[in-house]
Every structure is written in C-alpha cells, then in structure tokens.
Amino acid sequence: MPFEPIRSLELRGITKRFPGILACDHIDLTVGEHSVRALVGENGAGKTTLMNILMGLYQPDEGRILINGREVRFRSPNDAFAHGIGMVHQHFMLVPNMTVAENVALGMKSSHRPGRLDLGSVRKRILEISERHELPVNPDAYVWQLSVGEQQRVELVKTLCLGARFLILDEPTSALTPQETDELIELLKKMSRELSVIFISHKLHEVKALSDTVSILRRGRIVFEGRTEDHSPADLAALMTGHEVALPCVECSDAPRPGGPGLLYVRDLRVRGDRGNRALDGVSLDVYSGEILGLAGVSGNGQRELAETLNGLRKPESGSVRLDGVELGGCGADAVIAAGMGYIPEDRNTEGIVPSFSVRENLVLKDVGTGGWSRAGFLRLGPISRNAATLRESFDIRCPSVDTAAGSLSGGNIQKVILARELSRRPKALVAVYPTRGLDMGAEEFIHKQLLARRAEGAAILLISEELDEIMNLSDRIAVIYKGRILKVVPGREATKRSLGLLMAGVLDE
C-alpha cells in the first residue's frame, strides 16, 4: 500500500496508566515534516511509553493520534509501519540467534510467501538501504556476532527496510562511545533531509547538536516546548528536572597516591566469559583506600566479568585478587563478602535484591546467618526489624512499610535498599556497577553523595559506569577497559571526554 507522506503528526491528550503510576498525563505533541524533534526527560518521565503508544505497542487509556489531520488508530506496530512510522528501541529488538536478514524478514511481511520465506528479497532490500544511507551491514551475519555499534546500524537499516519515513529513536547513543555518537548524529542529520525524526534523549549536548525543536517531559507531562537553538543546555537541564541539580563532584587531594599494592589489588586476571571467550585478558588494577577508581568503557568489554570475578561469582583462570592483603582469587561469594567486600550489582532487580522478599529481609540478605541477625541458627526477628527501621530512616527508603516486597518499589528505592545493606556493612572495598542507571536525578544525587561519603571514610571504591559524566565527576583516577584489558589509567582531573572516548574505542596513541 503506497502511503501518503506524513506532513504532520499530532498526539492529543494521550494518557496511559500503569499500576501505581500515571506514565503519560494528557500529552499533546505535534511534529511536522523533515524536522528533528527532541523528546527530553529524565528516566521514568514517560518518553518511551509515549513512543510505544505511537508505535501501537501500547493502547492509550485516553487520547487520539492524528496524521495529516485525520485520526488514526494503531492496534499493533503493523499499523504504525503501514503509515511509515518506525522506531529504534533503546534495547535493540534483535533476535540474537537469527541472522540480520531473518531479523528484518520478521517485520517485512512482503517476504512472507505462502510456505516459504523469501530471504532473497530481504537481502536485496537490506543492501539497497544500506547503500543509500551509507550504513554497511552484512545480511548473513548472526546478530550475536555483532558489536553494539553494528547492532545499532542493523536496527536503523531494519527500521528503514520496513518503510519508515518517520523515525523514532529511543536513546540511540546510550551504548556508544563519544566518537560513535558523533558519527551517528552526523548520519541522522543527513537522514533528516528526507525523513522526520523524533529523538529521545536525556543527553542535552546531543539534543543541541541534532534537533530543531525540543519538548521536555516531566512526570508524564509536557512541561516545555520550544526551538532548540534558543535555549542553553543548562536551561533545558533545569526544565527537565524541575529544579537545579548540581551533582556532587569529587575533590581530589593533591597528596600523591601511596605506592605499593592497593587495598583492592588485582593482578593479571584472566577470566572466561559465558561464551567461552576470554572476557578478561590480564587485568591489573589497584584501588587505594579513600579513592574512587572509575572504570570507563563501552559495555561488553569485560566489566560484568570483572565485577563478578572480584565478588567471587566467577572463577578466574589465573591471576590474583586481594582485599587488604587477603587473597580472594577463586574464593566463593560468601568468603569475599566475609572479607569485607561490598557490591552494587548491575541488575538491581535480580542480582541486588530478592524481589518477593520484604525490604526488611533484603536488608539482612547477606548477613542473616551471622552477627546480630540469628542465634544458633534461629532468626532474631527483633534486631532484624530494628535494623530495617533504622536503615529505612537513614537511607530515606520510601516504602509503605518494611514488610513491603522490595520488588514492588521504584528503581531508585530498590537501589537505596541495596545501598543501605551494602554500606551499613562498612565494607573495606565496594564495587559499584552502573549504580545510577535508569534513575532520576534526585536518586542519582543521593547515591553519588553516599559513595563520596564512603570514600571519605576510607573505602576503596571501584565505580563501573557507561556514563562518562558520572565517572568524571566522581573518580580520583579513571581506568579504561577495552576488550578485557585495561588500556590506560589516567588521573581524573586530566581526563577529557575526547581522550576517554578514544581510549574506549581502543585507540591508545593519537
């Protein structure tokens, strides 16, 4: 069906509720032809929900969608595709054990012949699109073999193959290096001459670089709309959060670092990943007492394996991990925890807490068999409850009661539960993996302050993050990991985004 071009797209009064949350609250949004509209907001502001409604993935509780002034109803993504709307989701929607061509064919209904899948026509279309937009992809590669950057390209090609003239991009740069990000923005600029784009982001310099107009979402409402060039990133930031937020920064002392082994000492660590690949290939690090060492890198370069190995969840092939002089390489998680290691894991919902356990139970998860929480194998319910009440107060955990299932809390409060448990154990060293991912600025600020406080008390903190701003704000020193090796360690104050970005891409010498 040849569809008419979208000259205007209007969302009117879109409202969407989820249990306990009003994700979109009467949102109005109008986007014209050949323009780039940035949709800006904190995590949880409702941006993705709104776009999923536009794609027909969610049905709005109220509101209408109009194309060229005529009301349309999208019951499934197929309807959105039929109108030439396509979306690149933040988490790539690619089936890992299928080829690029098969992934495209999944959406390309014209290839679904009776009793036969016409992959030939899909391949042809992929090559056509990739040539026209200078997006090289190999149609016969399996998705799991591709790097994050390549998968990003495949997503774009896939969306264009499905006929998208109106492109929605949800946080497309979140997994890219600064240089890859620049390339993508150039590419999108070029593409916006023929296409309309809605660009979702919370990174304001990208918004400035790419978009013509900007809409800011806060707590499910549009709070601002305007031309991008009229406003500074600082203005936009204030509008986005609703208040001035100055994230805390580390104050590096000028005293030279002590030499010798760090409190957390890692030497020549070699570890295999889940696929049998060598995920860590001789990593050596020292994290000193009273220091935050930031570990920068594109995710998938060994960060997860490093964190898991340091915490006794993965056996190293060789190498040494010591905490305060005690050898922990090859020890189980229980021994590592007993030695004084703290851990804020990557996936807070399945690694940090037991979701169906109450807040109270989660707060004693690590020490339930020891210390004050049990005697002769029997739980001491009184001290456990008092501990929960104290920590709820001091870490500002917002929950109806400490008997609430931890999994039903918001991400920020779940992270506070984890933080409260880990920090109240007074760890000598702490491994924090993406500690603020997906959280709003208020929670981010709180967590950063807590990490700095722990640093001041003398803990050795390894901060693993994809957010360069976070790493640069908090770290005394910054190490860059690339393909399982530490490429370089630089003092925090000397690091620039550009220099880190090159290192993250594996470029050691300029």
Partner 1 sequence: MNKSMKAVYNAVVILAAAAAALGVGALVFAAVGADIAKAYTVILTEPLKDLIGLTEIAVRAIPLTLIALGIAIAFRSGTLNIGAEGQMMMGILAASATAIALPDLPKPVLLPLAVLAGAAGGAVWGTAAGILKARLGVNEILSTVMLNYIAAQFYTFLLRGPMMDPEELVTGSGTPQTVRIPRAAWLDRLIPGTRLHAGAFLALALAVLVFILLWRTSAGFRMRAAGAEAKAARYAGIRVERYVVAAMLLSGAFAGIAGAVEILGVHRRAIEGVSGGYGFTGIVVSLFGGLHPAGIVPASLFFGLLLLGADMTQRLADVPANMVLVLQGAIILAIVSARQFMNNPYVQDRLARKLSRLLGKPAPNPPAGSREACPDPSDSPDPCLADEAEPRTGGGSPAETEEHR
Partner 2 sequence: MSAGSFILNILILGVPFSVALLLAGLGETINQRAGVFNLGCEGIMAMGAFLAFLPPYFLADTPLAGSANLIGLLLAIGAGVLLGLLFALVVVTFRAPQGIAGIGLQMLGWGTAGTLFRKYVGGVTGVAGIAPLPIPGLSRIPILGPILFNHNPLVYLAFLLVPVFWYVLFKTPWGLKVRAVGTYPRAADSLGIPVARVRYQALAVGGAMAGLAGAYLSLAQAKMFADDLIAGRGFIAVALVYFGRWNPVGVLGGALLFSLAQSLQLSIQVAGIDFPYEFAVMLPYALVILVLALVRKSRMAGPAELGRPFDREQRV
Region from 1-9, 84-92, 98-106, 493-501 binding partner 1, contact rule CB under 8 A: 84-92
One-letter-per-residue 3-state SS of 77-114: HHHHHHCCEEEECCCCCCCCCCEHHHHHHHHCHHHEEC
- Cβ atoms of residues 280 and 270 within 8 Å: yes
Contact 71, 43 (CB under 8 A): no
**Site for partner 1 contains 274 (CB under 8 A):** yes
Q: Count Cβ atoms below 10 Å from residue 108 Cβ, excluding itself.
A: 21
Are the beta carbons of 336 and 403 closer than 8 angstroms?
Answer: no
* 358 interacts with, out of partner 1, partner 2, none, CB within 5 to 8 A per kind: partner 1
- Indicate the residue among 59 and 318 with the shorter CB distance to partner 2: 59
34 with 195: CB under 8 angstroms?
yes
Nearer CB in complex with partner 2: 355/506: 355
- Which SS3 state, helix, strand or coil, does residue 20 take? coil
In angstroms, the Cα distances linking 43 to 200, 278, 473 are 11, 34, 20
Q: Which does 3 bind (CB under 5 to 8 A by kind): partner 1, partner 2, none?
A: none
Is residue 447 near partner 2 by the rule CB under 8 A? no
Query: Residue 337, interface with partner 1 (CB under 8 A)?
Result: yes
Residues in 344-373 at the binding interface with partner 2, rule: CB under 8 A? 349
Phi, psi angles (nearest 5°) of residue 480: -115, 130
For partner 2, the closer CB: 43 or 177: 43
Q: Which of residues 408-467 bind partner 1 (CB under 8 A)?
A: 408-411, 413, 437-439
| Alpha helices (H) in 177-217, listed in sequence order | 178-191, 204-210
Q: Is 13 near partner 1 (CB under 8 A)?
A: no
- From 107, 231, 96, select the one nearest 161 (Cα to Cα): 107
Q: Which stretch binds partner 1 (CB under 8 A): 71-79, 87-95, 280-288, 320-328?
A: 87-95
Q: Which residue, 200 or 216, is less far from partner 2 as judged by CB?
A: 200
Q: Does 27 bind partner 2 (CB under 8 A)?
A: no
User: Which pairing describes strands 36-41 and 213-218: parallel, antiparallel, or unpaired?
Assistant: parallel
Among 31, 37, 44, 451, binds partner 1 (CB under 8 A): 44
Backbone angles phi, psi at 225, to 5 degrees: -140, 140
8 Å CB contact between 47 and 63: no
Site string for partner 2, 101-120 (x = CB under 8 A): -xx-xxx---xxx-xxx---
Q: Are 306 and 328 in contact (CB under 8 A)?
A: no
Q: Which is nearer to partner 1, 411 or 506 (CB)?
A: 411
Tokens representing 152 are 């990003």
**Three-state secondary structure string covering 145-191:** HCCHHHHHHHHHHHHHHCCCCEEEEECCCCCCCHHHHHHHHHHHHHH
Contact 160, 86 (CB under 8 A): yes
CB 314, min distance to partner 2, A: 16
Which residues, 52 to 91, sit near partner 2 by CB under 8 A? Answer: 55-58, 76-78, 81, 87, 89, 91
Figure out which of the listed residues 69, 97, 230, 510 binds partner 2, where binding follows CB under 8 A: 97
# of chain residues touching partner 2 (CB under 8 A): 36
Contact 479, 306 (CB under 8 A): no
Taking residue 381's Cβ as centre, other Cβ atoms within 10 Å add up to 11
Q: Computed from CA positions of residues 497, 501, 507, 510, in that sequence, does the dihedral angle turn out positive or negative?
A: negative
- Within positions 161 to 180, which residues make up the interface with partner 2, using CB under 8 A? 162
Indicate if the alpha-carbon torsion angle 411, 415, 418, 420 is positive or negative. negative
Smallest distance, Å, CB 55 to partner 1? 10
Q: Indicate whether 96 belongs to the interface with partner 2 (CB under 8 A).
A: yes
- Selected from 186, 403, 457, 469, the binder of partner 1 by CB under 8 A is 403
Q: How far is the CB of 79 from partner 2 (least distance, A)?
A: 8
The reply on whether position 196 binds partner 1 by CB under 8 A is: no
Q: Which of 237, 245, 365, 489 binds partner 1 (CB under 8 A)?
A: 365
Residue from the set 7, 34, 64, 91 that interacts with partner 1 by CB under 8 A: 91
Among 12, 208, 219, 272, binds partner 1 (CB under 8 A): 219
Measure CA 483 to chain center.
Answer: 19
Q: Which two tokens stand for residue 415?
A: 């992270």
| Strand 318-323 with 429-433, pairing | unpaired
Nearest alpha carbon to residue 306 among 353, 267, 352: 267
* Range 134-153, binding partner 1 (CB under 8 A): 144
Residue 374 C-beta: closest distance to partner 1, Å:
4
Single out the segment in contact with partner 2 by CB under 8 A; choices: 100-108, 184-192, 289-297, 366-374: 100-108
Q: Pick from partner 1, partner 2, none: which does 405 bind, CB < 5 to 8 A by kind?
A: partner 1
Site for partner 2, residues 132 to 161, rule: CB under 8 A: 142, 144
The footprint of partner 2 (CB under 8 A) covers: 18, 55-58, 76-78, 81, 87, 89, 91-98, 102-103, 105-107, 111-113, 115-117, 142, 144, 162, 274-275, 349
